[in-house]
């Protein structure tokens, strides 16, 4: 009976010794500098990157661990998933955060999604079955992502945001110098999405040679914009085969005129079709009403003009910063 009892005690001591595996060492941290304020274009598509810190961090930890110790990486506090791979809510509707970690200093992934994207719950793994030294760097990258319609607000991050842990040792961590990011939407909206310009009736005899015009009719593109918007535009449409500047081709078919197109000017200068204009105006206040003045007129594109209807269609795309 005494020998049996000794065997049981010896087994218990061996098991207790294995459970005592641990890690020791010194961790490192990096600092992510976010902008104090961030202006977001109103009509950016979902998934757009609003801000990217790039890879930040240049120091490595020194961690020594017993075999089969647990290590983990991810957010240091609970996070709610948002739309997009590895994207989490920030507290501001429509703005998410994605954080990547690279555990090597020599080579970093060009795409953050190819890195060790931080998550909640944290990723848990087991170290190899031998005692080892680990040198993970605090090399992190943060992106702010548009996840939906944005409601202006303030993002308040807790510090540190993400960590890696070897056993109970915090090996790497990242924090933010600016914990509040003000989000403000910015852009313009067109107050009339279907503008019809009616040119006056013209006679064939009123035209001169090729390039002559008549029936000039002014019209405007009405906008309401936020403050600080540099407005440009792009007028897209089918250009006349003559390649005359700013001339839209007349639609073909029964009853349509030939040898004539519709030229569009901004001020006195023909627009560049299917290309972005130079900046037209810089707004100075919110809800500022802006009208881009334009003129449409008949343009003779061929020596021979036949009578009929003239109809040209163009799409205006706003381009602003």
pLDDT recorded at residue 321:
66
What DSSP element (H or E) covers 8?
Answer: helix 2-18
Count of Cβ atoms closer than 10 Å to residue 216 Cβ: 13
pTM beyond 0.75: no
The rounded distance, in Å, linking the Cα atoms of 165 and 11 is 31
SS3 179: coil
- Contact predicate 203/191, CB 8 Å: no
pLDDT recorded at residue 35:
85
What DSSP element (H or E) covers 3?
Answer: helix 2-18
| Phi, psi of 291, rounded to the nearest 5 degrees | -125, 125
| DSSP code of residue 204 | G
Q: Which residues contact 111 (CB under 8 A, 6 or more apart)?
A: none
The rounded distance, in Å, linking the Cα atoms of 118 and 103 is 12
pLDDT digits (tens, 9 = 90+) for 23-48: 999 999 998 888 888 888 777 889 99
pLDDT recorded at residue 38:
85
Domains of the chain: 21-184 (2.60.40.3310), 186-318 (2.60.40.1090)
pLDDT recorded at residue 295:
95
The rounded distance, in Å, linking the Cα atoms of 109 and 107 is 7
The rounded distance, in Å, linking the Cα atoms of 78 and 70 is 20
Q: What angle do CA 76, 60, 34 make, to 5 degrees?
A: 50
- Contact predicate 149/85, CB 8 Å: no
Token match 């602003």: residue?
320
Token match 């501001």: residue?
92
The rounded distance, in Å, linking the Cα atoms of 161 and 181 is 15
Token match 């218990």: residue?
12
| DSSP code of residue 205 | G
pLDDT recorded at residue 1:
34
pLDDT recorded at residue 7:
36
The rounded distance, in Å, linking the Cα atoms of 39 and 182 is 8
> Which residues does the chain have with pLDDT short of 50?
1-20
pLDDT recorded at residue 6:
32
Peptide bond into 274 cis (omega under 30): no
| DSSP code of residue 17 | H
* DSSP assignment of 86-147: T-EE-SSTTEEEEEEEES-SS---SSGGGSEE--SSPEEEE--SS-EEE--B-EEEEEEEE-
pLDDT recorded at residue 178:
66
The rounded distance, in Å, linking the Cα atoms of 316 and 288 is 19
β-bridge mates for residue 290, sequence order: 223
* DSSP assignment of 239-287: B-TT--TTEEPPPPSTTB-BSEEEEEEETTEE--BTSBPPP-EE--STT
Count of Cβ atoms closer than 10 Å to residue 22 Cβ: 13
Among residues 161, 133, 3, which one has the least CA distance to residue 77? 161
């Amino acid at each position: 009976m005494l020998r049996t009892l000794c065997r049981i005690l010896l087994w218990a001591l061996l098991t207790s010794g294995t459970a005592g595996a641990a890690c020791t060492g010194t961790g490192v941290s990096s600092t992510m500098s976010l902008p104090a304020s961030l202006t977001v274009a109103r009509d950016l598509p979902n998934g757009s990157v609003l801000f990217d810190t790039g890879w930040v961090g240049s120091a490595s930890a020194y961690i020594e661990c017993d075999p089969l110790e647990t290590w983990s990486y991810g957010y240091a506090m609970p996070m709610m998933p948002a739309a997009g791979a590895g994207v989490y809510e920030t507290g501001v509707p429509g703005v998410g955060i994605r954080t990547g970690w690279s555990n090597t200093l020599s080579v970093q992934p060009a795409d953050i999604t190819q890195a060790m994207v931080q998550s909640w719950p944290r990723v848990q793994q087991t170290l190899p079955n031998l005692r080892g030294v680990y040198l993970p760097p605090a090399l992190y990258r943060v992106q702010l992502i548009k996840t939906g319609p944005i409601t202006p607000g303030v993002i308040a991050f807790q510090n540190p945001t993400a960590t890696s842990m070897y056993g109970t040792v915090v090996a790497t961590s990242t924090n933010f110098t600016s914990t509040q990011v003000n989000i403000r939407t910015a852009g313009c909206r067109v107050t009339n999405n279907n503008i019809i310009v009616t040119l006056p009736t013209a006679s064939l005899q009123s035209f001169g040679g090729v390039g002559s015009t008549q029936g000039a009719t002014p019209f405007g593109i009405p906008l309401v914009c936020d403050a600080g918007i540099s407005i440009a535009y792009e007028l897209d449409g089918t250009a006349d085969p003559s390649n005359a500047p700013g001339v839209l081709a007349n639609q073909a078919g029964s009853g349509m005129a030939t040898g004539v197109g519709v030229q569009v000017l901004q001020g006195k200068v023909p627009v560049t079709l299917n290309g972005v204009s130079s900046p037209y105006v810089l707004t100075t206040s919110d809800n500022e009403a802006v009208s881009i003045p334009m003129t449409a007129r008949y343009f003779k594109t061929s020596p021979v003009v036949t009578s009929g209807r003239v109809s040209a269609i163009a799409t205006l795309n706003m381009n602003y910063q």
